[in-house]
Structure 1
């Protein structure tokens, strides 16, 4: 690389620093509910470990004790060593898909909507969203994709990777279903297929999509398919933790139900619940699946261990809801500008404390860290301009006392 290129890169990085948008990797040591950062032990309110399972040493000890009972031959491998289409389709992975499918079927039957779905496990939520959408849009069909303005970067990248000339894209205003309906009405008769893409719980604002409203829109037009990313709702919402779709009884109406294991599940990987024909199509056309080494079987064994417990964790989900609601109410009451939420009913464990200005947001994060809380500033381009914020993330290991102390600092 030439010196001139290095200088351009250095100048651009310097500009990022001047705009308070420079990113760097933190040096962290995890100790249960806490992280050690720059020599200080801080209460972690920045991770997506919503149920606190990632720091649950007793649960981890139980998992390892189960492994100790296995013979050397039975122990899950530490690496898949190849893609699923070669030798990576381990028995742990196949069992996980079967158990996830059973979880889904139990939930839909409880809602009197017995719709068969297959499950395909993937390496990450990012792999899922950059692979599923391009694979779905390879057919020679005039397709219109309508995505919420605030969908995750991985979904945006998936849209960018969809190169079919017969596919067009529009972004509707965040959770504005009148705006979405106008786009649907404007879709002429040449449009054969409409895919609506949304998150169920949005990663930066913590608010929810109105899944019943989207289902009603779908019912009005046979061309519509629903793609819902439950990354921040799985494990957190629903009677058995199956997400917002379970809570709103819309499971059977969603064509592509995507989620991750890297947040409330405290594991790694992702999945899609869909028609079996779609699953087979993805196996044949989804590049991140075809060309990636599968995750280690030991990780799938841990995910299965958590999955078996997930329907029983309602106490943790209820405690999480109480903490999150308390923080939301406190922020709405204390902010001097327009409240970030008029509705203080529980939406999710993600509570944005929007300050707007980058420098002010960084200063507030530093104040919270000085007070013993590991809170981080979120700035553009991760969020829209002038909406820099502290992304407060509750988890079920936090106590009411922790919550009160945080409120005092806010």
Structure 2
């Protein structure tokens, strides 16, 4: 049992931890050893190497040693030292940051602004842009980082049921006729990380155009690198990349780096540089990180074969799980196997780990009660021969 030690003020925390443990929802860090071929080993357990099916390394770039060697040969180390030592508005803005934003502006066709993480991005953009005369309307399954950003605003808030655009339109109609509301921010993700389903961004753009107060905010954290001819995300694949007001994403997944970004109009970029607190008051990313992101992002643009391989793997696995009579929602490289009860999801994940597949249970409060699951996160370096034996343990 967790104890409060000698400080009675800690007792409530100890009691809450005990409650979390009884709910089979206790979280803790694991010491993980990795090889260069997509396998991992838990340092504290007797299990051998396991195929990593839990990371967000969708293109398999993070363990690509050839890519790392090419980066070292191209750039050398260190690049202006290994720390930026300041915020971007003081002395922490380097050539590498400008080059990265330039590459992204060229790729997306609009202004780009880079942040320290996807979390910083979602925390800061809406809290800077939305005021008391704004309404933020969000899908009920948006990521926690967006929720935290919304909580920091002075805006009015409403949610609509997941992917229910008819309900969303009713909210937009009311807001359009409300004289106390100047702007309506519609906030969604392109790929939802728990169900692996994909938003109909075309339909959302149509709604945005239909109701003039509306601005569209789309988080492409799980879409960048995976969808679109050049890997620019679901917005590119659906042909509306220039029609979304705020297109945000993260480098920590398919791009195999760290940081977040926003694609927007130049006036929005300048406004955020002056108003966004997580940008203004954070030490900037080290230049070596910006250089690595530039390198991997540029590589990503041409990885069409890897994207197609990942798509086919996703189709094959999802269909095979459905054929076993299991609940497996979504249409993407995120393949959830829904079991319902927390303990059942935990037991299934342990069985898969013992069979050599590193998957993790996803439980409440990350997903709703009764929706516990094992989430399989695929990457392009996998083969069907590696993946197919997993089915015997679902």
TM over 0.5: yes
| 1:112 counterpart residue number | none
Residues 142 and 188, structure 2, Cα contact 8 Å, conserved in 1: yes
Q: Secondary structure at the match of 1:54?
A: coil
| 2:7 counterpart residue number | 3
Matched, 1:178 2:157: no
Cα RMSD, aligned residues only = 1.4
Change (3 A) 1:76 1:396: farther
Residues 96-122 of structure 1 show CA distances to partners (whole Å, capped at 9, x for unaligned) of 0011100112xxxxxxxxxxx210000
Q: CA deviation at 1:5?
A: 2.4
Q: Secondary structure at the match of 1:225?
A: strand
Q: CA deviation at 1:4?
A: 2.1
* Mapping 1:221-370, distance limit 5 Å: 221-336=211-326, 339-341=327-329, 347-370=331-354
| 2:23 counterpart residue number | 19
Matched, 1:389 2:373: yes
Separation of aligned partners in 2, 1:150 and 1:263: 19
Residues 62-89 of structure 1 show CA distances to partners (whole Å, capped at 9, x for unaligned) of 1112234x8x7xx343110010000111
| 2:388 counterpart residue number | 404
| 1:86 counterpart residue number | 90
Q: CA deviation at 1:143?
A: 1.2
Q: CA deviation at 1:42?
A: 0.8
Q: Secondary structure at the match of 2:167?
A: helix
Q: Structure 1 length as normaliser, TM-score?
A: 0.91
Q: CA deviation at 1:3?
A: 2.5
| 1:145 counterpart residue number | 136
Separation of aligned partners in 2, 1:390 and 1:5: 37
Separation of aligned partners in 2, 1:293 and 1:388: 38
Separation of aligned partners in 2, 1:252 and 1:312: 20
Separation of aligned partners in 1, 2:297 and 2:54: 24
* Mapping 1:124-203, distance limit 5 Å: 124-138=117-131, 142-162=133-153, 164=154, 167-187=155-175, 188-190=177-179, 191-203=181-193
| 1:52 counterpart residue number | 60
Residues 48 and 263, structure 1, Cα contact 8 Å, conserved in 2: yes
Runs of 4 or more above 6 Å deviation: none
Residues 173 and 211, structure 2, Cα contact 8 Å, conserved in 1: no
Q: Secondary structure at the match of 1:99?
A: helix
Q: CA deviation at 1:406?
A: 1.4
Residues 348 and 393, structure 2, Cα contact 8 Å, conserved in 1: no
Structure 1: which 5+ runs fail to align?
106-116
Q: Secondary structure at the match of 2:385?
A: helix
Q: CA deviation at 1:41?
A: 1.1
Matched, 1:34 2:27: no
Q: CA deviation at 1:366?
A: 0.4
Matched, 1:121 2:126: no
Q: Which moved more, 1:400-409 or 1:364-373?
A: 400-409
Separation of aligned partners in 2, 1:102 and 1:185: 36
Q: CA deviation at 1:189?
A: 2.8
Separation of aligned partners in 2, 1:224 and 1:316: 36
| 2:363 counterpart residue number | 379
Separation of aligned partners in 2, 1:26 and 1:240: 35
Q: Which moved more, 1:45-54 or 1:181-190?
A: 181-190
Residues 76 and 301, structure 1, Cα contact 8 Å, conserved in 2: no
Separation of aligned partners in 2, 1:83 and 1:3: 38
Q: Secondary structure at the match of 2:113?
A: strand
Q: Secondary structure at the match of 1:128?
A: helix
Residues 233 and 348, structure 1, Cα contact 8 Å, conserved in 2: no
